[in-house]
Structure 1
Amino acid sequence: MSAQLAESPPRSTNRFHDLGIRTASAAVLIPLAVAALILGGWAWRLLILAFLAGLLWEWRALSRHVAAPNRKAFAVAGLAYAGLPAIALLWLRFLPHGPADILFLLVVVWATDIGAYAAGRLIGGAKLAPAVSPGKTISGAIGGLAIGILAGVIIARGPSGILPAALLSAVSQAGDLAESALKRRLGVKDSGRTIPGHGGLFDRLDGVLAAAPIAAGLALLAQGGVPLWR
């Protein structure tokens, strides 16, 4: 459930060397999220609370890399970083069109992830933000945006999905970059080891964490009575 920007092809002969790990994590997280979304009620609440607890646990571990005088501020930032998206997702689910809004959000973020990964690995090219994340490419960002918009149009069944999908796709990619910048500043490769072989929850959910409050804002503008893309 994250919008990871694609990396440029590694020097390995296999450009898709991590595809198996990505597929395995998606095979677990996506059905779990969709099932809880459909069930709603306590299933959705428990899923969000479980993810929130895992995120805060990872944030606590990351705080060890922060200078002691700054740890309190870092802890507060973590509460906002993980807590606001959790509140947004809980609130969205209980709107009249909440399930559709959340599905729109998740599909756009997932599609952005896939598009960015594929375009970045197949095309490569100029780096997007080498000082923050040397592997991410401009082609990956454009590919992710294009596929994210296409997914939004499909879910919305028309062009009304273009603008909200573009916004959510761009924000999800910005969330990925922000998390990369944080890890670089802290000197860590992954946010944690929650997902065996593929890092932590922040590594998988950074795009959703960034885009969820935006989706809630769009739903609020729509007054909760129509889908957020109307």
Structure 2
Amino acid sequence: MSGADTSSEFEQPVAGDQEKGAADQAKGAGDQAQGMTRRQKVVQRTKVGGGLAVVVAGLLYAASLGPGPQITLGLGVVLSLWSLVEVRRMGLFLSPLGFVVAALSTIGFAAMQVLEPDAVGAAARGLASNPFLVIAGLSLPLAALTFRTTVRHARAGTKPPVKAVSTVLLLVTVALPLLALYPIRLAGGAAGLAAYIGLAKIGDIAGYYFGNLMGKRKPFPSISPGKTVAGCNASLITAVLVGALFVQMGVLDGARYGLVSGAALGAAVNLLAQAGDLLESAYKRRAGFKDSGTTFGPSGGMFDLIDSLILSAPVAALLWPYLFQSRALQP
């Protein structure tokens, strides 16, 4: 959706000419991408995706080294802050103070995990003591409410009352979720972290290519017109099969229920990854943006890349000790 049709009633002030210019650039890039053919989009996204895969492989290697958990946490902080900057440029914060609160909360929550390692270790032992229950518990109902409101207005052909989003919602769906990569790294090791990211992204890949090849029916045309029923189904089936395959290959070790543990993790991660993608699309629709940024060309900005993690990472951290023997419990 282009931002050119947003009326002054829904406009939010953007701090600084530089940020406004960046926002206009993102909108312009989105409009330009809309003029490309489907084949051109697939080819460009494949090229960008290949380059990003190399970068991710390097980061996962770094996460496998001695200070891997700390590197993972630092990466989560960087990606969260980067996404928050893009969200601010889209004008989704009600006020600049909301952005400051979200950014400081990200840093503070990360520091708490480093300064209180015993608490993080205990968090991997069970649901009751897991701090990411707070994130998951808050994010899912708030995300559902935002999505429902956006869909209702889209179907009615009207705009939401304001394009800004509650700071609390942005806090629990943008600022904090990627910090859950840290307990996933502790509980599953570097291989478990790689498996989680693989499950979150393999569905994206299968859904995108299968949807472009076979997809016709669009379940969410007003929010994410590129999604198809065939693509969504292919995404879920692929993630379930790959999750079981990861157990069979030993990538996900210590499975409590054999292949079922891998399939269950794949299903949970995929469904929430697809929900995260829809939530991010709802955010962009409120703001009147096609993409969150222009850093990665046809793939958009950082928030576009990590949308599959914002709901799935906290839930994966919650489920891990119930599906797999946690490495955090081992001496």
Query: Normalising by the residue count of structure 1, what TM-score does the alignment of the two structures yield?
Result: 0.81
Aligned to 1:12: 37
Describe the shift of the 1:14–1:83 C-alpha distance in structure 2 as closer, same or farther (beyond 3 A): closer
Describe the shift of the 1:165–1:130 C-alpha distance in structure 2 as closer, same or farther (beyond 3 A): same
Q: Write the letter of the residue equivalent to 1:55.
A: S
Q: Secondary structure at the match of 1:127?
A: coil
Aligned to 2:186: 94
Aligned to 2:74: 46
Contact 1:119 1:139 in 2 (8 A): yes
Contact 1:21 1:197 in 2 (8 A): no
Which residue, out of 51, 65, 84, partners 1:56? 84
Distance, in Å, in 2 between the alignment partners of 1:29 and 1:84 is 23
Q: Deviations over 1:71-105 (max 9, x none)?
A: 6763333222123322311122223x343432221
- In the comparison of the two structures, how many residue pairs are matched? 216
Distance, in Å, in 2 between the alignment partners of 1:223 and 1:138 is 31
Contact 1:115 1:146 in 2 (8 A): no
Q: Write the letter of the residue equivalent to 2:74.
A: L
- How far the C-alpha of 1:113 sits from its partner, in A, is 1.1
Aligned to 1:179: 280
Query: Normalising by the residue count of structure 2, what TM-score does the alignment of the two structures yield?
Result: 0.58
- How far the C-alpha of 1:164 sits from its partner, in A, is 1.7
Contact 1:172 1:211 in 2 (8 A): yes
Which residue, out of 58, 61, 84, partners 1:35? 61
Contact 2:45 2:299 in 1 (8 A): no
Q: Write the letter of the residue equivalent to 1:27.
A: A
- How far the C-alpha of 1:137 sits from its partner, in A, is 0.3
Describe the shift of the 1:82–1:109 C-alpha distance in structure 2 as closer, same or farther (beyond 3 A): same
Distance, in Å, in 2 between the alignment partners of 1:82 and 1:100 is 25
Q: Give percent identity, aligned residues only.
A: 31
**1:164 to 2:265 alignment:** yes
Q: Secondary structure at the match of 2:326?
A: coil
Describe the shift of the 1:222–1:119 C-alpha distance in structure 2 as closer, same or farther (beyond 3 A): closer
Distance, in Å, in 1 between the alignment partners of 2:38 and 2:297 is 24
Q: Pairwise mapping of residues 54-93 of structure 1 onto structure 2 (< 5 A)? A: 54-62=82-90, 64=91, 74-93=166-185
Q: Write the letter of the residue equivalent to 2:56.
A: I
Describe the shift of the 1:197–1:142 C-alpha distance in structure 2 as closer, same or farther (beyond 3 A): closer
Q: Write the letter of the residue equivalent to 1:20.
A: T
Contact 1:60 1:75 in 2 (8 A): no
- How far the C-alpha of 1:116 sits from its partner, in A, is 0.3
Q: Secondary structure at the match of 2:225?
A: strand
Q: Write the letter of the residue equivalent to 2:229.
A: I
Describe the shift of the 1:111–1:222 C-alpha distance in structure 2 as closer, same or farther (beyond 3 A): closer
Q: Deviations over 1:169-218 (max 9, x none)?
A: 11101111111111112110111233344311110111112210110110
RMSD (CA atoms): 2.9
Between structure 1 and structure 2, the one with the greater Rg is 2
Aligned to 1:120: 211
Distance, in Å, in 2 between the alignment partners of 1:55 and 1:197 is 17
Contact 1:59 1:75 in 2 (8 A): no
Contact 1:175 1:207 in 2 (8 A): yes
Contact 2:73 2:179 in 1 (8 A): no
**1:23 to 2:49 alignment:** yes
Distance, in Å, in 1 between the alignment partners of 2:230 and 2:324 is 36
Higher relative contact order structure (alpha carbons within 8 Å, sequence separation ≥ 6): 1
Contact 1:21 1:198 in 2 (8 A): no
**1:151 to 2:242 alignment:** yes
- How far the C-alpha of 1:14 sits from its partner, in A, is 2.2
Describe the shift of the 1:45–1:226 C-alpha distance in structure 2 as closer, same or farther (beyond 3 A): closer
Aligned to 1:191: 292
Contact 2:178 2:309 in 1 (8 A): no
Describe the shift of the 1:139–1:225 C-alpha distance in structure 2 as closer, same or farther (beyond 3 A): same
- The gaps in structure 2 that reach 5 residues or longer are 1-34, 100-164, 249-257
